[in-house]
């Protein structure tokens, strides 16, 4: 057995620390109390350049978001409206690794299958009922799903495809979600696959989905609207 001071043990410890850091890291951690985003800077970094702390004010950490007000779900073909509060809305979120969203669902509305490439999401139902779930990666592609009621909480692991659906045909639903990134990103699967610009070859999609090309052409001809604002 190697001693605690041996080169092999020290190398192993260094590698383990590096791997653990990569496993735990999401957004870069702050090295000071805050790093308010300077949206006027032309310097390109992973995130945003810090504003001079001497000119930071309370307004940099504030947004009159009116998250207590219902959103219009009729503007979306999928019957939902996602109001995301991220670093683009509150500059003070820069480097803090967190954002927030209010999701409104019409009766039978859904937040369709999507992923957040940079964040884990924890969602709580404020009103109504939601059927939610996520699917694991290949090869299992196992579905974990649950029906949530007011006050229930559910977690969607980072990067996994997930969804929420309001099964009630008469009453709307509302949820609040926290995400572990200042800019979690969202990839709506149907929009990305069938609404990409330029379009993915229908030969590719027909083979991938095992359908006729005319089916792919029809899907690509649809208007794939975004439900985020």
Cα gap 181→199, rounded to integer Å: 29
Q: Residue positions in the annotated binding site for Mn(2+)? A: 114, 116, 121, 162
Q: Residue positions in the annotated binding site for oxalate? A: 111, 116, 121
Cis before 198? omega within 30: yes
Residue 101 Ramachandran class (φ > 0 left, ψ -120 to 50 alpha, else beta): beta
Which residues have C-beta within 8 Å of that of residue 124, sequence separation ≥ 6? 151, 152, 153, 175, 176, 177
For 37, the 3-state DSSP assignment is strand
Q: Residue positions in the annotated binding site? A: 111, 114, 116, 121, 162
Task: Count Cα neighbours of 11 within 13 Å in the Cβ-side half-sphere.
Answer: 4
């Amino acid at each position: 057995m190697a001693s605690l001071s041996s080169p092999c043990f020290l190398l192993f410890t260094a590698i383990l620390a590096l791997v653990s850091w990569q496993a735990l890291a999401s957004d870069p951690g702050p090295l000071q109390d805050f790093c308010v985003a300077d949206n006027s800077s032309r310097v390109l970094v992973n995130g945003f350049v810090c504003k001079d702390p001497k000119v930071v004010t309370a307004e940099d950490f504030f947004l009159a978001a009116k998250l207590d007000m219902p959103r219009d779900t009729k503007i979306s073909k999928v019957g939902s409206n996602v109001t995301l509060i991220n670093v683009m809305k509150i500059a003070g979120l820069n480097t803090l690794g967190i954002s927030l969203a209010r999701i409104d669902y019409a009766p039978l509305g859904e937040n369709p299958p999507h992923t957040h490439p940079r964040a884990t999401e924890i969602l709580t139902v404020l009103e109504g009922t939601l059927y939610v779930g996520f699917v694991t990666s290949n090869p299992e592609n196992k579905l974990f799903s649950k029906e949530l009621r007011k006050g229930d909480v559910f977690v969607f692991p980072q990067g996994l495809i997930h969804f929420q659906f309001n099964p009630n045909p008469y009453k709307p639903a509302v949820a609040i979600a926290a995400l572990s990134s200042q800019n979690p990103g969202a990839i709506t699967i149907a929009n990305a696959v069938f609404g990409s610009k330029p379009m993915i070859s229908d030969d590719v999609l027909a083979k991938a989905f095992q359908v006729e090309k005319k089916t792919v052409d029809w899907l690509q001809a649809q208007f794939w609207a975004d439900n985020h604002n």
